[in-house]
C-alpha cells in the first residue's frame, strides 16, 4: 500500500477549524475512527507530550504538599444523592453502569466518574479525625466521563477527558481560600511558564459556578477562532458536602467542626488542545521545548558508501543528548530529505539536526530551529549545551509572542453596539457590569441573548474598579467583567 504524501495547506488564521482538524489528523495526535461517538484514540505524538505535561503538574503539586491517590472509576449512586446541587449539575452528563456482562442487574447503579468529590469525601470522613490531620491535600490523575450532548471535538470537547483533580480539606474557610490562590499560582507556574499559554484568572459569576461550590475561580485563554477556552479551575466547595459526608475534625479544644474543602481540575487533554492551537502555524505544530514529544530530530544524510559511519555518529549524538535529558529520534525512514525536513517541521519538533559527511569533517552539525526557521552550524561536541540553552530561549519567545497576541484581543466597550463589534472581531469585551451575584443574573441573560456571548467573570485575585454604569441595565456598576464567546 502506497504511503500518503504528507501535505499541509490550511491557513490557520483564515480557517482555524479546518486547520485544527487537519493537524490532529496529519500529525497523528488522535484517531477519531473509534466506533463510539465522542471517544478517540490518543496516539503516541499526543500521549508523549501529555505525559510530560502531567509530569510538570504533578511535580508542582507534590512540591506543595499534595499526595497522589488512585480512586476507583465507579462511584455508587448514593454518593451523588448526598448533595442535591451536585446531582442536579451533573445528572444529565453521567454514564451509568446498571448490569453485569451476564445480564444481572446491579443492586445499585454506579456512575463512571464525571468528577470525584463524592468519592474523595467518602474516604475523607474515614481518614480525617483531628486538626493534626489538616490540611489534607490530595490529587489523582485520571480519566473522567461526561455525556457531552454538544458537538464533540478531539481534545477540546469529548466524552472522555484526561485530567488531574486535586481535592483538599482544611480547618477554615480562610485556609480554603488560600488554597485557591495557591492553585492560581500553580496554574501560572505550569500553564504559562512550562506550556507558554497566557490566561486570565476570573472569579466566575454565581450563576456559573461549579455545582455545589460557594465560589469558582477559573483561568480562560483565547483560541485562534475568537472563542475563549476554560483551562484549570479551582473551587471553594460548600460545607453542604462535608456535612453530607460527615467530614469533620476535632479542634485544639476538643470541639468537632466540619471541614472546608477545595478542588482543582487541570484537564490535561484540553490544555493540550489550547497549547497546540495557540503556538501552531501554517507549517503545523510548534511544541514548547519543555513538553515536546521529541525535542530534537536527527536527520542523517548519507550514501551507501558512508551510511554506517553517518548512522553511527547520529546514534552517538542521540545517546549523548539522552544523557542530558533531551529526548531525540534518529530519522531512519525512506523519505527524501525534503520530506523528512517537512515532516519534522509539521510535527512541531523544536530542533532538527542535519548530519552528513560535510558535518562530520567540520565536526559541526547543521541545526534547524523550528520557531525561527533559522539554520546554524554548531559544534557536535556541544550540541546538548546549545539545545538546552536555545530550548529556554524558544520558550521565552513563545511566551512573549502568545502574551502579545493575547493582549491584542481584549477591548473595552460601554454599549452593546460596541460590544457586538468587538465580539465580531473575535475579541474579548471588557465592560462595567452591575455585579456577579445572582441579583445580576437578568443582565447576564440579556448579554447571552443579545450578544450571543457570556460573562466570564471578574479578575481575581487582583481587583479592577468599575468607573461607569452596567453595560446591560445602565445602573451604577460594581464590577469590571469580561464577555466572550466560548467553547
Taking only the tens place, the pLDDT of each residue in 220-229 is: 999 999 999 9
Report the C-alpha gap between 18 and 12 in whole angstroms. 8
Cα–Cα distance, 311 to 302 (Å, whole number): 8
Q: Is the pLDDT of residue 87 over 90?
A: no
What residues have CB less than 8 Å from 444, skipping those under 6 apart? 205, 207, 454, 455, 472
Check whether the bond before 80 is cis (ω within 30° of 0).
Answer: no
Mean pLDDT across 246-273 = 97
Tell me the average pLDDT across 189-194. Answer: 98
Give, for 24, the enclosing helix (H) or strand (E). helix 16-26
Q: Do the bridges between strand 479-484 and strand 454-459 make them parallel or antiparallel, or are there none, so unpaired?
A: antiparallel
Q: Quick one: what percent of the chain has pLDDT higher than 90? A: 90
Q: Which fold has domain 410-484?
A: Translation Initiation Factor IF3 (3.30.110)
**% of the chain exceeding 70 in pLDDT:** 98
Q: What does each C-alpha distance from 148 to 61, 114, 160, 230 come to in angstroms? A: 29, 11, 9, 16
Q: If pLDDT is split at 50, 70 and 90, which confidence band does 256 have? A: very high
Domain at 294-392, CATH homologous superfamily:
Anticodon-binding domain (3.40.50.800)
| Average pLDDT score over residue span 263-269 | 97
**Which three three-digit cell numbers place residue 10?**
490550511
Domain boundaries, the chain: 16-279, 294-392, 410-484
**Is the predicted pLDDT of residue 289 greater than 80, yes or no?**
yes
Mean pLDDT of 60-86: 91
Q: Which of 344, 209, 350, 355 is nearest to 279 (CA)?
A: 350
Is the distance from CB of 136 to CB of 124 less than 8 angstroms?
yes
Largest interatomic CA distance in the chain:
84
Residue 1 has pLDDT above 70, yes or no: no
Which one is predicted more confidently, 1 or 423?
Answer: 423
Which residues lie across from 99 on neighbouring strands?
A: 105
Rounded to whole angstroms, the Cα distance separating 313 from 302 reads 11
| Res. 5: pLDDT tops 50 | no
Q: Using N-to-C axis directions, what is the helix angle for 268-279 and 16-26, rounded to 10°?
A: 110
- Rounded CA separation 125/248 (Å): 7
**Assigned fold of 16-279:** BirA Bifunctional Protein; domain 2 (3.30.930)
Q: Please tell me whether the overall predicted TM-score, pTM, comes out greater than 0.85 for this model.
A: yes
- Express each pLDDT in 94-112 by its tens digit: 999 999 999 999 999 999 9
Query: Under DSSP, is residue 149 helix (H, G, I), strand (E, B) or coil?
Result: coil
Sign of CA dihedral 410, 415, 416, 421: negative
Q: Is the pLDDT of residue 212 over 70?
A: yes
pLDDT at position 3, please?
44
pLDDT reading at 7 higher than 80? no
Q: What is the pLDDT of residue 151?
A: 65
What is the spatial distance between Cα 292 and Cα 50, in angstroms, rounded to a whole number?
Answer: 9
Q: 156-171: per-residue pLDDT in tens?
A: 988 999 999 999 999 9
Amino acid at each position: 500500500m502506497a504511503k500518503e504524501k504528507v501535505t499541509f495547506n490550511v491557513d490557520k488564521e483564515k480557517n482555524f477549524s479546518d486547520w485544527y482538524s487537519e493537524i490532529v489528523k496529519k500529525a497523528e495526535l488522535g484517531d477519531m475512527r473509534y466506533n463510539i461517538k465522542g471517544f478517540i484514540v490518543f496516539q503516541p505524538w499526543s500521549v508523549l507530550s501529555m505525559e510530560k505535561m502531567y509530569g510538570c503538574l504533578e511535580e508542582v503539586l507534590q512540591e506543595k504538599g499534595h499526595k497522589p491517590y488512585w480512586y476507583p472509576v465507579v462511584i455508587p449512586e448514593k454518593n451523588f444523592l448526598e448533595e442535591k446541587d451536585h446531582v442536579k449539575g451533573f445528572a444529565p452528563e453521567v454514564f451509568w453502569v446498571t448490569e453485569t456482562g451476564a445480564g444481572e442487574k446491579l443492586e445499585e447503579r454506579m456512575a463512571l466518574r464525571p468528577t470525584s468529590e463524592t468519592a474523595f469525601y467518602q474516604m475523607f470522613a474515614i481518614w480525617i479525625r483531628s486538626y493534626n490531620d489538616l490540611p489534607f491535600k490530595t490529587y489523582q490523575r485520571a480519566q473522567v466521563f461526561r455525556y457531552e450532548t454538544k458537538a464533540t471535538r478531539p481534545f477540546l470537547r469529548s466524552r472522555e477527558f484526561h485530567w488531574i483533580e486535586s481535592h483538599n480539606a482544611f480547618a477554615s474557610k480562610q485556609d480554603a481560600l488560600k488554597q485557591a490562590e495557591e492553585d492560581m499560582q500553580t496554574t501560572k507556574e505550569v500553564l504559562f511558564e512550562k506550556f507558554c499559554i497566557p490566561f486570565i484568572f476570573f472569579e466566575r459569576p454565581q450563576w456559573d459556578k461549579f455545582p455545589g461550590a460557594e465560589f469558582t475561580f477559573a483561568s480562560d485563554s483565547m483560541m485562534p477562532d475568537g472563542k475563549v477556552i476554560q483551562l484549570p479551575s479551582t473551587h471553594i466547595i460548600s460545607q453542604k458536602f462535608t456535612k453530607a459526608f460527615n467530614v469533620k475534625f476535632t479542634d485544639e479544644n476538643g470541639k468537632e467542626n466540619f471541614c472546608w474543602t477545595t478542588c482543582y481540575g487541570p484537564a490535561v487533554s484540553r490544555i493540550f488542545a489550547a497549547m497546540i492551537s495557540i503556538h501552531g502555524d501554517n507549517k503545523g505544530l510548534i511544541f514548547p521545548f519543555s513538553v515536546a514529544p521529541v525535542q530534537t530530530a536527527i536527520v542523517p544524510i548519507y550514501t551507501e558508501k558512508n551510511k554506517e559511519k553517518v548512522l553511527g555518529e547520529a546514534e552517538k549524538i542521540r545517546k549523548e543528548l539522552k544523557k542530558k535529558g533531551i529526548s531525540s529520534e534518529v530519522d531512519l525512514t525512506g523519505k527524501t530529505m525534503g520530506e523528512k525536513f517537512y515532516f519534522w517541521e509539521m510535527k512541531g519538533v523544536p530542533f532538527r539536526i542535519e548530519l552528513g559527511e560535510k558535518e562530520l569533517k567540520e565536526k559541526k552539525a547543521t541545526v534547524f530551529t523550528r520557531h525561527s526557521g533559522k539554520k546554524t552550524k554548531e559544534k557536535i561536541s556541544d550540541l546538548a549545551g546549545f539545545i538546552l540553552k536555545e530550548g529556554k530561549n524558544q520558550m521565552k519567545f513563545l511566551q512573549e509572542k502568545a502574551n502579545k497576541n493575547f493582549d491584542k484581543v481584549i477591548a473595552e466597550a460601554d454599549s452593546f453596539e460596541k460590544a457586538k463589534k468587538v465580539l465580531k472581531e473575535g475579541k474579548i469585551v471588557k465592560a462595567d457590569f452591575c455585579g456577579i451575584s445572582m441579583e445580576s443574573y437578568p443582565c447576564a441573560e440579556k448579554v447571552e441573548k443579545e450578544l450571543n456571548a457570556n460573562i466570564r467573570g471578574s479578575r481575581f485575585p487582583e481587583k479592577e474598579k468599575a468607573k461607569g454604569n452596567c453595560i446591560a441595565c445602565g445602573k451604577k456598576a460594581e464590577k469590571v467583567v469580561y464577555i466572550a464567546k466560548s467553547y
